[in-house]
Amino acid sequence: MAPALLGMGNPLLDIMATVGQETLEKYDIQMNNAVLAEEKHMPLYGELAEKEDVKYIAGGATQNSIRVAQWMLQEPGQTAYMGCVGEDEYAKKMRDVCKVDGVDARYMVDKKTPTGTCAVAIKDSERSLIANLSAANNYKVDHLKEKENMAVLEGAKVVYSAGFFITVSPESIALASSKDSIYCLNLSAPFIMQVPPFKACLVNTLPHVDYLFGNESEAMTFAETEGWDTTDIAFIATRLSLIPSARQEFGRRHRTVVITQGCEETIVARNGHVRRFPIIKLEREMLVDTNGAGDAYVGGFLAALVKGGDIGECCKAGAYAASVIVQHSGCTYPKAPEYKW
């Protein structure tokens, strides 16, 4: 049986550690942000690796969401994931994690380039991500077109990519979003909207997106780059939902836009209507770090979507998954969820 959920993205091994203000200033790091690594960031990876509390976790935004969805579903083989890795120990670590989790990892292997890494700088329960894509940057649509992988794509009920994948393989996004599967995309980070080629790909893809995810800062950045002159999240979500859909041939006329707002309620817009759904509020002392919280929300949401849940059930599952991940270090979780479907 083909996996019900396919993720396509940038597999990265997270190198995560706690930092002080001096590190943030040294590398010009902003909290609650995600950027692609520049030359100035390269020494940071070594510095984090030398920290006493350093952790190595299979990461990358899409891979996080797929692992969480698999955890929520608790049925091995319900999910698959594609992306590019090197032929090295980091790739082996990620394969091992996916195998234990029950995710069918279908990595493309670039033997000449090391597996990508993501520096995760933690301060006061908040995080900043600096991604060094390396091999992840070399994914090619030819891998997706291989017979066995196309069978996974065409058999999937839901397909998901974080917006970061736009920087790597627009061709793969175009192919995946042309199929009958429910296609889901995430805005992911402000720079996706601020860099013209990435924004162009996003705009071209939006008509083919059934579910669009993002957080409040990403939504406001989209509005700013469109010249909408508003910071009203509900208004922005509504306008995003009303961009004409190209999914009529599959019987889907309306896009659902899901904007999370940290500890505030989630805003969902569809066909001009806005609904608000609660998150699970935790006492501050229960928070370990927010790394992966947004990815986890999407993972829980997608798990419910695969099971045929309505928007309320999807948001409830997303809120639960996020509430668990923020109580753990990185995108990790207990053996089994306590969530009741």
Active site residues: 295
Task: Compute CA distances 39 → 33, 45, 142, 291, whole Å.
Answer: 18, 12, 30, 23
Asked if residue 327 lies in contact with residue 289, where contact means CB atoms within 8 angstroms, the answer is: no
Q: What is the rounded CA–CA span in Å between residue 12 and residue 135?
A: 9
Q: Which of these, 183, 87, 81, 191, lies nearest to 131 by C-alpha position?
A: 191
Q: Which of these, 312, 334, 307, 309, lies nearest to 323 by C-alpha position?
A: 334
Q: Edge-to-edge, what's the strand order for the sheet holding 273-277? A: 103-110, 79-86, 5-8, 158-162, 182-186, 211-215, 256-261, 264-270, 273-277
**Helical (H) or strand (E) element with 197:** helix 196-205
Q: What is the rounded CA–CA span in Å between residue 230 and residue 228?
A: 6
Q: What is the rounded CA–CA span in Å between residue 238 and residue 133?
A: 33
Q: What is the rounded CA–CA span in Å between residue 112 and residue 203?
A: 33
Query: Around Cβ 294, how many Cβ atoms within 10 Å?
Result: 26
Q: Which of these, 226, 265, 224, lies nearest to 243 by C-alpha position?
A: 226
Position of tokens 């292997």? 109
Q: How far apart are the first and last CA of the chain?
A: 22
